[in-house]
Structure 1
């Protein structure tokens, strides 16, 4: 069939094949498998590890993700048919290139860095949310405490004002009573001075059972 394999590296290889008239209305199947053993394996499609379908408009394909320093068998058939020996070729991948190895390491390091960055961002977001939640809670508690203190101060002020008002009212009432008492005492004193006879006590009449006291003049006349 004239299959050729070119540009073999540690991870890739290019396979080229001539176009087949029988595949004009179908597709090409590119099948490959590592560590092929012709004594134990048959040319059945089930024996191949990987299979790629290629449009009939193409006659080449780049196989990727190969293992370095590994022997592969590769077959090209028409429309997923079981391959024959003339449709297959074996090739051996090379040692991994230093540039490719460094790129792989860079990609691995980049992936680890991205994963770590995402995890750190998630942790930072959780911590920030927790801090903001605690801060809001503390502010709410402080505001409630201030409101309670203000309410208590207002109640005490109102109580003190009420007590002061009651005390002042009592003082004013006592002052008015004292003033009225003084005025009444002055009026009574003035009345007594103006009418001295009013302060004398009236003579109480004796009981009819008591005998009248004889007057000395009357007793002489009787004798």
Structure 2
């Protein structure tokens, strides 16, 4: 049949075959399998690891995802028929391509970076949530403490004002008692002075306090 395998790399190989008239209205089956040396030489379709269907309009297929430094067998048949010897070809893949290895490393590094970033974001979110909870709790405790202190201050001020009023009342009562003890007839004396008919002789107003007391005594004697 004249199958050709070219452009072989560590991971890919291009398979080319001549068109067959029997597959003009059908499709081609491209079958390949690694480690040909350990494979049974029966050329049965069940012996192949992979099988791809290619439209009849095409006469080539790029085999991908191969393993570097591995021996492969590839066969091309019409309509999934069992291949024969002239429909198969054995080839060996090369070492891993530097570009492919670099891409693999980049993908691995990118995956690690993404995973680390997600973990860091999750940890940061947890820490932020904990800090917010702690701040809210401290603020609540501070407000409760301020409310309790204001209530204590209000109660203390009320007590002090009550005590002060009581002391003032006691002091005024004591002064009134002292005044009554010193001037027992003070009330009657004031009444007599204010009543103009209580005294027949008018009191002589002088600038001396002694004369006022004598005049008041005389009015009292007359009564």
Please report the TM-score for the alignment, with normalisation by the length of structure 2: 0.69
Per the TM alignment, residue 161 of structure 1 is displaced from its structure 2 partner at its CA by 2.8
**Taking structure 1 as reference, are residues 77 and 127 closer, same or farther at Cα in structure 2, changes over 3 Å only?**
farther
Distance in 2, matches of 1:134 and 1:43, equals 73
In the alignment, is the contact (CA less than 8 A) between 2:180 and 2:186 conserved in 1?
Answer: no
Q: How does 1:154-165 map to 2 (within 5 A)?
A: 154-165=154-165
- Under a length normalisation based on structure 1, what TM-score does the superposition of the two structures give? 0.69
Equivalent residue number for residue 203 of structure 1: none
Q: Gapped runs of 5+ residues in structure 1?
A: 196-223
Residue by residue, what CA displacement relative to the aligned partner does 1:6-61 show, whole Å, maximum 9, x if unpaired?
11011111112334455455543322211013762532333222233334443322
**2:123 match:** 123
Match in the other structure for 1:2 = 2
- Deviations 1:39-96 (CA, angstroms, capped at 9, x unpaired): 6253233322223333444332222221111100112334444333333221100122
Structure possessing the higher radius of gyration over alpha carbons? 1
How many residues were matched structurally?
A: 194
Moved more, 169-178 or 124-133: 169-178
Instruction: List alignment gaps of at least 5 residues for structure 2.
Output: 193-216
Separation in 1 of the partners of 2:184 and 2:29? 134
Q: Alpha carbon RMSD of aligned pairs, Å?
A: 3.2
Q: Which moved more, 1:137-146 or 1:87-96?
A: 137-146
Cα distance in structure 1, aligned partners of 2:5 and 2:101: 23
What SS does the aligned partner of 1:37 have? helix
Distance 1:5 1:183, change over 3 A: farther
Q: Comparing 86-95 with 174-183, which one deviates more in the overlay?
A: 174-183
Moved more, 119-128 or 9-18: 119-128
Q: Distance in 2 between matches of 1:55 and 1:176?
A: 127
Give the corresponding residue for 1:218.
none
